[in-house]
């Protein structure tokens, strides 16, 4: 099993454990939502499991902002290391390329297996890859992160925007995204840039503090956990029951954007605190494994979960939602990791990046 899962040497050196833990938390929450909704759309009875739907709503309040904040934390270091041109090329390789490739793979499979999957696809969906990424399921995030990162790099380095300028631009764009939503204006990929640019800028704002190892005892303290917990609980309570009252799970996010931003930031801070605690005790390493492989899990988890769900329902007749959710979640984490390792072993690194991994370069 240790051979099947990632080499622990990858966790050595300067790699920050808390980052992997935070990404692990975020990717599992992403998988939870996609798998739960996939099972619900497949016709399995879900009404009696309202607590699972409530968890789905709660997790939505902070998981994607967390990804953008974590990416923003490292933008300055990445620019110092690679420079503008090389960093943009790197983002093309590790974000834009896998986004395009796996979007085409998933759409093609959904067309070929049209009678067995939830999605109703046609050749038109290939056109959505560039303009309307949210219409092709989960992949919009990679495209959004690529666009936000490139725009941030160019404004930072070419227009010489300071972080406060970026925050101001991000705030305006964020409020604009709320306007788009309320008025049902679909600008496709532009919405995601507007909605998440602010969180990326917040990442750079806190970078120096959060990367300061002298402050790690504070970040990993149980006192901080105890202070954050009530704010997190109150925020999630409000988010859940406000959305339920309006019978619309995006009500707070779209109609109360400032409050949503506060709830999201509190949730992100709380998750980061938990990540530092896990780093402090060096515990729950499988979560770190998931975070280390979050990109590879992200691109293929829907295909894996859908296949497992179909087998469980159609072959084994399993229709108990909690069991389906747990089993599909486990497979959707483990199989993509094993698939990635197998791809690296046979030289199929091009499935995930245009750049050959360093360990393969060294081996050759």
pLDDT, tens digit (0-9, with 9 covering 90-100), for 40-54: 888 888 888 899 999
**Residue 10 clears pLDDT 80, i.e. is over it:** no
Read off the tokens for 178: 């709320």
For residue 173, the model assigns a pLDDT of 98
Using CA atoms, how far apart are residues 251 and 237, in angstroms rounded to an integer?
A: 14
pLDDT tens-digit readout, 166-205: 999 999 999 999 999 999 999 999 999 999 999 999 999 9
* pLDDT of res. 11: 54
Structure tokens at 268: 């992100």
Q: Encoding tokens for residue 1? A: 């099993």
First to last CA, the chain: 26
* Percent of the chain predicted with pLDDT > 90: 81
What stretch of H or E contains 7?
Answer: none
Other C-beta atoms closer than 10 Å to the C-beta of 349 total: 17
Mean pLDDT of 238-258: 94
CA distance to 97, 136, 171, 181, per residue, from 121 (Å): 22, 9, 36, 25
Angle at 302 (CA atoms; ends 298, 307), nearest 5 degrees: 140
For tokens 């995030």, name the residue.
141
Statement: the pTM of the whole predicted model exceeds 0.85: yes
In angstroms, rounded to a whole number, what is the distance separating the alpha carbons of residues 74 and 304? 31
Calculate mean pLDDT across residues 307-313.
93
Evaluate whether 332 touches 301 at the Cβ level (below 8 Å).
Answer: yes
Q: At what angle do helices 50-59 and 17-41 cross, to 10 degrees?
A: 140
Q: Which residue has the higher pLDDT, 44 or 299?
A: 299
- Mean pLDDT, residues 137-145 taken together: 91
């Amino acid at each position: 099993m240790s051979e099947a899962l990632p080499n622990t040497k990858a966790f050595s050196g300067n790699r920050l454990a808390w980052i992997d833990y935070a990404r692990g938390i975020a990717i599992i929450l992403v998988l939870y939502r996609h798998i739960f909704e996939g099972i619900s759309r497949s016709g399995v009875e879900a009404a009696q499991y309202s607590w699972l739907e409530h968890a789905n709503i709660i997790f939505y309040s902070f998981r994607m902002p967390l990804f953008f904040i974590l990416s923003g934390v490292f933008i300055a270091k990445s620019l110092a290391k690679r420079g503008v041109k090389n960093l943009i090329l790197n983002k093309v390789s590790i974000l834009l390329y896998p986004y395009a490739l796996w979007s085409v793979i998933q759409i093609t499979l959904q067309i070929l297996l049209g009678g067995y999957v939830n999605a109703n696809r046609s050749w038109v969906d290939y056109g959505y890859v560039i303009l309307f990424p949210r219409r092709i399921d989960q992949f919009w995030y990679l495209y959004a992160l690529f666009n936000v990162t490139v725009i941030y790099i160019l404004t930072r380095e070419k227009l010489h925007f300071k972080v406060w300028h970026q925050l101001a631009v991000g705030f305006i764009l964020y409020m604009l995204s709320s306007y788009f939503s309320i008025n049902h204006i679909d600008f496709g990929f532009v919405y995601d840039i507007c909605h998440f640019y602010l969180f990326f800028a917040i990442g750079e704002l806190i970078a120096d503090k959060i990367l300061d190892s002298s402050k790690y005892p504070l970040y990993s303290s149980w006192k901080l956990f105890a202070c954050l917990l009530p704010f997190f609980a109150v925020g999630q309570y409000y988010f859940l029951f406000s959305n339920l009252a309006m019978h619309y799970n995006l009500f707070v996010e779209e109609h109360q954007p400032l409050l949503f931003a506060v709830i999201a930031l509190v949730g992100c801070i709380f998750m980061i605190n938990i990540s530092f605690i896990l780093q402090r005790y060096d515990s729950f390493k499988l979560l770190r494994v998931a975070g280390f492989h979050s990109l590879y899990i992200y691109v293929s988890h829907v295909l894996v979960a859908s296949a497992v769900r179909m087998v469980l329902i159609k072959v084994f007749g399993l229709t108990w939602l909690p069991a389906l959710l747990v089993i599909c979640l486990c497979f959707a984490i483990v199989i993509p990791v094993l698939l990635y390792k197998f791809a690296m072993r046979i030289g199929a690194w091009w499935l995930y990046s245009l750049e050959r991994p360093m360990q393969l370069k060294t081996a050759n």
